[in-house]
Structure 1
Amino acid sequence: MPSERVSVSSKVMKGVKYSVMSLALSALGQTALAAERLYIFTENYPPYNASESGKGFAHSEDGITGICTDMVKAILARVDYDYVMKMRDWSYAYDWVQDRENHGLFCTARTDQREDQFQWVGPLASIKWTLFAAPDSDITLDSLEDARDLRIAGYKGDVMSGYLVDQGFNVVMGISGDVNARRLTLGQADLWVTDGLVGPLVAEEEHGITGLKSVLVFRETPMYLAFSTNTDPAIIADLQQALDEARSAGEIEKIVARYE
């Protein structure tokens, strides 16, 4: 009998040890999965990124569309990483993503000032830095320097606005760029700095304003999917490879064609 009790006790202990090991392995597996989840943010910046609801925020990828968004989705469809995609104000997203592992945002202009702040996947598309005036404005510019004494509407965290501030221009900053077309028509600003495609589209869709005058295109920069420097470089390499494959397969070209 004692030997039988020992045998039963031994089996019970083995079962307990097996359960503990299983739980530990399960926890490790969950940790690994969590480490492979990507958190990706964007802003309402049509036609590159836009919410299906027309609002300036969205809580999942199903509510976000646009040229860059569709490109990023094409990249993610080719890798095994789980991901969460949200739309928020750009200044919030830009600050939130930095220094957080597996956090990224798009479409982000890649500039010398930002080069070391992120890891880069791209290029996706490019933006034309454009100064717009109100439909009834008589402003003409031959160079950027001609705008030195004018009030320029911009917004916090925007690369174009930041550049003009650094150059000493008078930039009227807001939280987002959605209201800047209205600022032109109300006389609160003389010019609006934004992308050449974005300006007229936002002006019409948000405020019913048509006929904005493009008075100067002064720069063009490529846009990327940018990740925090804390993100594993192997993830960046996987995403870059996925983009390269999608471009070779003609997917990126087809996305652009859908919005032309």
Structure 2
Amino acid sequence: MHDQARRKLMLGLAGAAGLAAYAAQAQQPGLLIVTEEAAPYNFTENGRLTGMCTELVQEVLSLLQQTAEFSVLPWARAYEMARQGENVLIYSIARTAQRESLFKWAGVLTQVEYSLYALASRGLRLGSLSEAMRWQTATVNADVGEQYLEAHGFAKGKQLQSSAKNQFNFEKLKMGRVDLWITTDLIAQQLASQAGDDGTRLLAKALPLPELQVDYYMAFGPATADPQVERFRKALETLKKNGRYAAIRRKWLGAAGPG
């Protein structure tokens, strides 16, 4: 075979391989990222998705030079989409023993601590979790707070009133439709502030739940390939090493403790 003919053959093969690789990549399902309204971690403001954890996920995407579609959904729907789907990333999701095998965990975004809140004017203080069974508690459907209470004998329709998002729970608490609300400290204060209320005056911790101190993660369902999960984990670790993680955390939390 003459050199010129050989070069043409090699170029043709290279071009065919390139087209095949492009086609294979194009056929891969796009990345979908799902989350919920949970300020200050992830929430919509003036039609734009923002929040501390949102910024961290966006920084990871930028580092990976990857595009994705974001979708803000009721938590239970986002949870099931991520658990059952392929190439679906969910954040901010608490890592618990109950959820351990249901997801592939791609890195810690922040740490949170839950409490049972009541209106300060009620003067309601609980000595133990069992005392809370006398009262109606607002929860978010399928979130870690609701799952925690269910694991301790609480039931929807009895002691628990489940909603699609925390904003509804805050409103129910203010209106006196529930006695307690399980949520994180920052979510409670943020929703009160957004409603024009002083959360430090309006709300009081009826029962802190230090045993429900959990890490919020990025996570994929089991159908997502391990290399994809590892790419996201390593990118988040890079943000923690290069200072971007700390800078974003300071922007949103200042010198606050657990997120």
Q: Fold match, TM over 0.5?
A: yes
Contact map agreement 2:75 2:140 (CA 8 A) in 1: no
1:1-260 alignment to 2 at 5 Å? 26=19, 29-35=22-28, 37-53=30-46, 63-169=48-154, 170-206=159-195, 208=197, 210=199, 211-218=202-209, 219-260=212-253
1:206 Cα deviation (Å)?
3.9
Distance 1:207 1:176, change over 3 A: farther
Q: Secondary structure at the match of 1:189?
A: coil
Cα distance in 2, alignment partners of residues 223 and 93 from structure 1: 15
1:80 Cα deviation (Å)?
3.4
Cα distance in 2, alignment partners of residues 137 and 200 from structure 1: 18
Return structure 1 stretches of 4+ with deviation > 3 angstroms: 21-28, 206-210
Q: Secondary structure at the match of 1:129?
A: strand
Q: Secondary structure at the match of 1:197?
A: helix
Distance 1:104 1:110, change over 3 A: same
Per-residue Cα deviation, 1:195-224 (whole angstroms, up to 9, x for no partner): 111012113314746421122221200010
Contact map agreement 1:99 1:228 (CA 8 A) in 2: yes
Q: Identify the structure with bigger relative contact order (alpha carbons < 8 Å, sequence gap 6+).
A: 2
- Root mean square deviation, CA, Å: 2.3
Cα distance in 2, alignment partners of residues 171 and 209 from structure 1: 26
Q: Secondary structure at the match of 2:92?
A: strand
Cα distance in 1, alignment partners of residues 198 and 74 from structure 2: 22
Contiguous gaps of at least 5 residues in structure 2: 1-11, 254-259
1:26 Cα deviation (Å)?
4.0
Match of 2:4 in 1: none
**TM-score, L = length of structure 2:** 0.83
**TM-score, L = length of structure 1:** 0.83
1:148 Cα deviation (Å)?
2.2
Distance 1:185 1:36, change over 3 A: closer
1:22 Cα deviation (Å)?
7.4
Cα distance in 2, alignment partners of residues 238 and 36 from structure 1: 16
Give the fraction of aligned pairs with identical amino acids, expressed as a percent. 27
Cα distance in 1, alignment partners of residues 142 and 27 from structure 2: 29
